[in-house]
Amino acid sequence: MPQYIQHNAGPGAFKISASGVSTRICIDADDWKGVTRAANDLSDDIGKVTGKASALVTGTKPLAGAILVGTIGKSKIIDGLIASGKIDVSAVKGKWESFVIQTVGSNLVIAGSDKRGTIFGIYDVSEKIGVSPWYWWADAPVQKSSTLYVKAGRYVQSSPKVKYRGIFINDESPSFSGWARTKFGGINSKAYVHMFELLLRLKANYLWPAMWGNAFNEDDPMSPALADEYGIVMGTSHHEPMMRAQKEYTNRKNEIGAWDYVTNAENLKKFWTEGLERNKNFDNLITMGMRGDGDVAMGKGDDSENIKTLKNVVSDQRDIIKKVYGKEPSEVPQLWAIFTEVQRYYDAGLNVPDDVTLLFCDNNWGYIRRTGPAKELKRKGGMGMYYHIDMNGGPWNDRWVNTTTVPKLREQFNLAYQTGIDRIWIVNVGDLKPKEMPIDFIMRYAWDPTAISAAQTSSYLVDWATGIFGSKNAVEIADIVSKYSKYNLMRKAEVQDPRIFSFVNYHEADRVLKKWKDLTAKAEALESKIPSEAKDAYYQLVLYPTKASAGVAEIYLAAGRNNVYAKQGRISANDYAKRARDLFELDKSLSARFNDSIANTKWQKMMSDVHIGYRQWSMPAQNSLPNLIEVTPLATAALGVAVEGSTEAWPGATGKAGLPQFDALDQQQYYIDVFNRGTGTVNFMAKANKPWIKLSANKGSVAKEQRILVNIDWKNAPQGSADGLVEIVQGDVNIPVTIKTLKVAVPVAKTRYYGGFSGEFTIPANKFVKNIPGKEATWKVLPDLGRADACMGIYPVTAASTMPENAPRLEYQVFLATGGQAKVCVGILPTQDINPARGLRIAVGIDDGKPVILDARKGYVDTFNEYTQANLSHSLVLKPLPPLGTDYALVSRRQQRRSEIFDNLRWLDTNLDVKTPGMHTIKIYMIDPEIVLERIAVNPDDRYPSYLGAPSVAH
């Protein structure tokens, strides 16, 4: 829908407000109550923007100069305009949730095809005049204007491409529940009406209500009545059948008996029947089937027995629907959630009647577990998706701030939509706050997934920021929001650990810390430029999630450096322990400001989730620091030496100190750290035994530590391989550090290439030299997806699987210094086993050699099932980490504690035969279209492990 609001009259424009006068809004009193209510909101919104609200007038005939609002077939005003030929509604009449906005003579007409269509039309005007859907939930400021006009014309909004679009309030304690009790006395209709309005302003229509100890229909009977009046379709979560909340059962457990259909079917049928009778006059989407009591697998683990039971459950539930509604079940919207173990039942052949929507699910961390099966494309009930941007459970909690990027959401929901999953999109949003941005994107994207391409995700964010903060700072705000969510996705707070990033290889921890510090500085600097009326929104949506996320990330980086330095005996380890403690206090103050200061304390207790110190998937009792080690200085000054590439320190380490190889192509710079293990000052000398070894310092006086940078004078360095030595001397203590160099002819190439003489190198997926289309598909850049600048995905994602000879391929030029076997690691996003009958494959080859087909399912673990099959056991803990000070290795991506889900990356490894040293072409072929390529690592070096891998350096 184009922007039709303007701030000057223009030819034929309709005046909403000018010169302190706002036009009237005219509505038929017999129209839907929800339409009247929304029209009142429009009146208020015009007042918020201009200072003069519009009067709302009821009647059956048009008023000259008024905004005429109504529903086709429900409003005499609108029907009269249709009959007289003054408006053309042929494009929307009889359609689902569509509307037309048209200037007609002296009037503006908003005509909806149905109740929600009219409401969406009303709120479309509200948003375009400057009232954000997030004006209440995020305190988005209203964009003021003294004049408002509608450009002459006819504006048609066709039906949404996804029929049911909504959110699930879940995992809502302690934050949402604490806030609602404080502000509204509970999770009741007073709280829910704000949620209903938000959904409608976002053109969404569907809600699963909070269910952690809450019963939407019984806690406050006004809640379902108002939901229906507003126009919200209500449902219940994936494990709450027949419009019954789990709490409704637990409140009656003694009366009903066991939640066991084998032994207690009659009582459960009665319970379900009463629930449907209560809600039958409202607009509902009924959840079918059942799981065990408390969102766990039913029965004793025998799938075949559970399948038999579920068949009986669904059959009996359908009979109840027919009895209660007095019509065929096929006329009543229903869904069956293929969640956790139920997916196994579905894969084993269990299915439900054709008119029931199959609700497929993601893996709890945002990667869908199934694309739409071809056999279900003609299903009358269609297919839907239950998706998480918040998770409390396996594989791990992801509850605190937003960790989901728009490019990831777009990639996954596009994959769902293109394969036929378009009937329902329901998103677990936790407490709703602070997941505002991804909620906004998903609801807008659901209306028309074809409207936002992969290349337009950054434009969406700028538009989102503009809608809330205005255009002046929108680009900067969009960049900050994009980056904080991207950095969180690299490693979420709940799965942080001090031993993830390397402190000695590739300056990895320093590079990660710099990203966070630069982003925080940008967010803090921008805060001073934000107008006072927008500062509360800025804190909620931008500054808090950025600064708090950066703080948590740095806590673990500081703790990790403390641990490594303590092992080495550095007294500076204590500085990093203090930094971690200071950041821990900062985290408290940031949350306190959110809860107790902004928006006149409107959000008390909303930011209460524990998010530091996870040891198992479930939320800890309180935030806690990772292990910190205090170093007691020796009584006198004592020399210590550490070198880049090792966590050891000398004297004391068993091996010899040595720096990684220097070569004339990459011309590396490495460091030697000289530090003090005791009190007082260490006076040292540093000397190289070769004149072409250059040191940044030849002596020093160190109270804590000093870094010496080592470079090579390549003009005077000897040809071929050479050895040298740097000695760090204090008194009679002499620490020799070996130096190895390689000076050979530098490769010459006409195009960009990667590689070199010194071990591991990585190639970003989008840095190809050739992109060669296949017969039916091509590789396409997916900007800002993954950890780096972009990933490569297949267009269209529905392309047929193929073999390398017909496949689209990417070519990368590389220099390999030696012949023989080269290990190539293909880094892909952790796409799930979405089509188990087919595979999840990609091929890699070198030069004209035969490509090797890699199947991501080989050694594949369905992380979802691995962590959830055992009923989300609270005893689940992280697998042991390597010993203190050991790096979290790139080469260990297949083992140790690494998780492709936690890492947001899966590695597929193979060995390629390199016939001769020199320039070569690595080729990546599509086999199955859903795989997304993020990067390629070549010759991963076990000696210098890291989480992100060697930085990519192009030559």
- List pLDDT tens digits, range 768-789: 999 999 999 999 999 999 999 9
Among 488-492, 886-890, 933-937, the range scoring the smallest mean pLDDT is 886-890
For residues 608-634, average pLDDT: 97
Distances (CA, A) of 105 to 64, 84, 157, 668: 9, 13, 21, 74
Separation CA 349–CA 762 (nearest Å): 43
For residues 90-108, average pLDDT: 97
pLDDT recorded at residue 624: 98
Centre a 10 Å sphere on the Cβ of residue 648 and count the other Cβ atoms it contains. 18
Q: Is pLDDT above 90 for 522?
A: yes
Query: What is residue 694's three-state secondary structure?
Result: strand
Q: Give 877's strand partners.
A: 616
Among 22-31, 32-41, 742-751, the range scoring the smallest mean pLDDT is 742-751
CA 218 to mean position of chain CA atoms: 33
304-339 per-position pLDDT tens digit: 999 999 999 999 999 999 999 999 999 999 999 998
Averaged confidence pLDDT in the chain: 94
pLDDT recorded at residue 96: 98
pLDDT recorded at residue 859: 57
For residues 342-355, average pLDDT: 93
For residues 252-275, average pLDDT: 97
Residues in the chain: 955
Of the candidates 579, 577, 576, 588, which has an alpha carbon nearest to the alpha carbon of residue 612? 588
Which H or E run contains 315? helix 303-325
Please state the φ and ψ torsions of residue 914, each to the nearest 5 degrees.
-100, 115
396-439 per-position pLDDT tens digit: 999 999 999 999 999 999 999 999 999 999 999 999 999 999 99
pLDDT recorded at residue 895: 38
CA 396 to mean position of chain CA atoms: 14
Q: Is pLDDT above 50 for 871?
A: no
Distances (CA, A) of 891 to 450, 820, 887: 39, 20, 10
Q: Is pLDDT above 60 for 881?
A: no
Q: Is pLDDT above 70 for 864?
A: no
pLDDT recorded at residue 293: 86
Q: Is pLDDT above 70 for 810?
A: yes
Residue 874's pLDDT band (cuts 50, 70, 90): very low
pLDDT recorded at residue 294: 79
pLDDT recorded at residue 743: 97
Separation CA 851–CA 842 (nearest Å): 10
pLDDT recorded at residue 896: 36
Bond into 736 cis (ω within 30): no
In the 8-state DSSP scheme, what is residue 764?
E
pLDDT recorded at residue 898: 57
Q: Is pLDDT above 70 for 870?
A: no
Structure tokens of 507? 């300056």
Q: Is pLDDT above 50 for 675?
A: yes
| pLDDT > 90 in the chain, percent | 92
Cβ–Cβ < 8 Å for 899, 809: no
How, if at all, do strands 164-169 and 206-208 pair? parallel
Distances (CA, A) of 628 to 461, 555, 560: 39, 10, 8
Separation CA 460–CA 933 (nearest Å): 23
pTM of the complete model: 0.95
Q: Is pLDDT above 70 for 876?
A: no
Q: DSSP string spanning 506-574?
A: TTHHHHHHHHHHHHHHHHHHHHTTS-GGGHHHHIIIIIHHHHHHHHHHHHHHHHHHHHHHHHHT-TTHH
C-alpha distance across the termini of the chain, in Å: 46
For residues 703-718, average pLDDT: 98
For residues 6-11, average pLDDT: 94
Cβ–Cβ < 8 Å for 550, 515: no
Of the candidates 184, 180, 273, 191, which has an alpha carbon nearest to the alpha carbon of residue 226? 191
Query: What is residue 114's three-state secondary structure?
Result: coil
Cβ–Cβ < 8 Å for 859, 894: yes
CA 541 to mean position of chain CA atoms: 15
